[in-house]
Amino acid sequence: MKNPSRKVPILLTSVFIIAVCGILYELLISSISSYFQGSSILHFSIVIGLFLSFMGVGSFISRYIQSNLLNWFIIFEILLSIIGGLSTFVLYFAFSLTPYFYGFAFILIALLGTMIGLEIPILTRIVREHESLKDAMAKVLSFDYLGSLLASVIFPLVLLPSLGLMRTGFIIGVLNLSVAILNIYLFRADLPSPRQLLIICWSVLVILGSGFVYSFEINTFFEQFLYRDQVMLSKQSAYQQIVVTKWNQDIRLFIDGNIQFSSMDEHRYHEPLVHLPMLLAQSRENILILGGGDGLAAREVLKYPEVKKIDLVDLDPAITDLGKKHPIFTQLNQNALNSNKVHIFNQDGYKFVEESSDFYDVIIIDLPDPNNISLSKLYSQEFYKLLQKRISVGGTMITQSTSPYYAPKAFWCIHRTIEGVFPACLPINVFVPSFGQWGFNIAIQQPFPSEKITENETNIKKWAIEKLEKQVENQQKNIDFKHLNKEIIYALFTFDEEGKEMEVETNRLDNQILARYYESSWEQWR
């Protein structure tokens, strides 16, 4: 082999790049699986476990490759680039047009994992031709681990928010292909047929480059199958996939494939969410909204002239930017997020409450369902204890609590968790056509208002219903309720046999039982 002193640094650079690509493929397939199928912890664990297993298979197979090591390495790089580069396209196709998503995902993981497992032993053997075994192993593994670190950082911080899932797949494929092209050009004298390899590389580059250029059109094509209506906006933020659809006058927001609201019936969700705790609270001056970046909850809060300040905390600036600037959203939320009473904080809700020293009369929690540990912690006993410290005397807190019909264990787990922290917690439910039967839990901070009631659930419920009936009737002069009225208040606090309370555990940070309740409940409806 010619120029051996030059060969080792180039091969180690190749190790670094393929390590980056390998981790990126794992993260990409895990993210897509979570996006389509939910349960991020489950899918990340399974994908990473399978990848590692097939890398072991690849390492074992590498022992049977005895000659032309560099040529085989380049061939595997080309194969990796085309299979990995098209992986997002294949998974979108599988989910949108076939019932075999998991089968396609398994085949992709098996192929990618096996070839990645083949590469490192082959490169180690090539480097060993010029250095001792211990030096070769040390250098190859060091570059491999450094590449893995870089990949784990750039995927969530750079690639996903900047390019989205589809383009990221094509870019990783091009990165793999660049390793093959680099090695062909530099070591063409050591290869049996470098010209043919280059022709294949340039052909693959055309395919991947075309996919990158037309990725938006490809993405839109598949999303038309995922969503029944016309896709008006599709955006991958640093945290989630955001899609807005339209059919006639119905605007719908989806986050990671889950519907957040339909403009046709969102009032049936937001009116109970906002007005029940507002009307039960002794005061309504300082309000905290956790989530609600679309501005619809803030719109309802601003209907009370006595409100002086609204702190709205939503992790994702992409959502609050839509709520503040996008004409579809500003029309729906009546420009609420541009009110001088609204102060937006794009940070983790748990951290915000933990560091806050303010007191709030009403806290409204309008977060996504607790389908993973990151969200489940915002429904935990520890979080509710932090919130209780920030609620004024006679104040209230409400949280959306998923469906008592579709996910009853999750709903009653949230209820029990709040009940263990606050002196009173009242479950309510409402029918929202685009969601089905949906639930909330209202916590009331002691002491109760001047009405004398004993502290038991029946009397507190009776007091709450009577007060709400009077307040809703009185407020109808000032607030144009679309759904709430005196007659339906009792029904909001009434559960049928299918939604009745059940025995569940409290959700704590150290058990995260809520995420498991949620996943097991919704699994039967998929």
The residues that are catalytic are 366
Alpha helices in 261-310 (DSSP H): 266-280, 296-301
Residue 443 has, within 13 A of its CA and on its CB side, a CA count of 32
Parallel, antiparallel or unpaired: strands 241-247 and 230-236: antiparallel
Distance CA 225, CA 470 (A): 47
Distance CA 25, CA 44 (A): 12
Burial class of residue 478 (count of CB atoms within 10 Å of its CB; 0-12, 13-18, 19+): exposed
> Closest Cα partner for 440 from 305, 319, 280?
280
DSSP letter, residue 73: H
Compute the CA torsion angle 296, 297, 298, 300 (nearest 10 deg).
90
> Closest Cα partner for 120 from 181, 179, 203?
179
Phi, psi of 193 (to 5 degrees): -145, 70
Given 3-state DSSP classes, what are the helix, strand and coil percentages for the chain, each rounded to the nearest 5?
60, 15, 25
Distance CA 426, CA 409 (A): 16
Cβ-defined contacts of 449-455 (< 8 Å, 24+): 449/282, 449/394, 455/423, 455/424
How far lies 423's CA from each of 23, 289, 429, 460, 489, in Å?
A: 48, 21, 20, 10, 22
Q: Is 16 left (phi over 0), alpha (psi -120 to 50) or beta?
A: alpha
Q: Is the peptide bond before 447 cis (omega within 30 degrees of 0)?
A: yes
